[in-house]
Amino acid sequence: MALAAIFAAGCIASASAQAQKLPAGFVYLRDVDPTIIQDIRYAGSNNFVGRPLRGYGAAECVVKRKVGVLLKSVQKELALQDLSLKMFDCYRPARAVADMLAWSRDGRETTAQRRYNPSFSKADLFRLGYIAERSGHSTGAALDLTLVDLKVDNSATFNPNKDYADCIGNVNLRTPEGSVDMGTGYDCSDAKAHTAARSITAAQRRWREKLVLLMARRGFVNYSKEWWHFSLPGAAGQAYDFPITPRK
């Protein structure tokens, strides 16, 4: 019995270690800075596909170590202003990108999915540059993120049974994100989500400009069609397809 128990415990420990193993140079962001808020949307149903994407076995932000250190620097600066980063997506397995492509070509489109691309068909997302067939996220050097005001109530959560407004609608009617109002929801495929869009308020523009400036100071470059997307030139390298597994 004792030997069996020891063997079983060893197997559990081995499985746990395997679940936390990442390729060289990658880290769980929580191990670098646990204060950064995470809402990894592709690990659940609160996204434009409406289900977890392939490869997202855990709602964890995984990044290149250098990227994590730079995010920690941003967070340190924000903490002095009662603000925080919130991560929506980090490393994205190549299989998840393929899952997105297959979804865009399946010929079906629900009302919930149209909240994220209210002006055109999902089949046009790749052609128009809103989703890439080869994503920089798969290198571990691209990020989707926003800012959170820690002084306000951010407790509202996503209700899959609720009929929310389009991602370009009023912030009080859109899917709740527990973050500052950037003018559109996350993953909104629309001209209003372009970082320099003119169709947003002065306050929304200031939040976007603040985020871009904070990230630019650390070398991150924003993608002009998505106010939330940033990449770190020179840190990308090859694309990976390892699944995101529980940290512990």
Q: What single-letter DSSP state applies at residue 171? A: T
Contact 243, 215 (CB under 8 A): no
**Is 137 annotated in some ligand binding site?**
yes
Tokens linked to 20: 């936390």
Across the chain, how many H-helices and E-strands are there?
6, 7
**Is 229 annotated in some ligand binding site?**
yes
Is-catalytic flag, 133? Answer: no
Q: How large is the C-alpha radius of gyration of the chain? A: 19
- What is the biggest distance separating any 2 CA atoms in the chain, rounded to whole angstroms? 70
**Is 144 annotated in some ligand binding site?**
yes
Cα–Cα distance for residue pair 150/83, rounded to 1 Å: 5
Annotated binding site for Zn(2+): 137, 144, 229
Residues assigned a catalytic role: 226
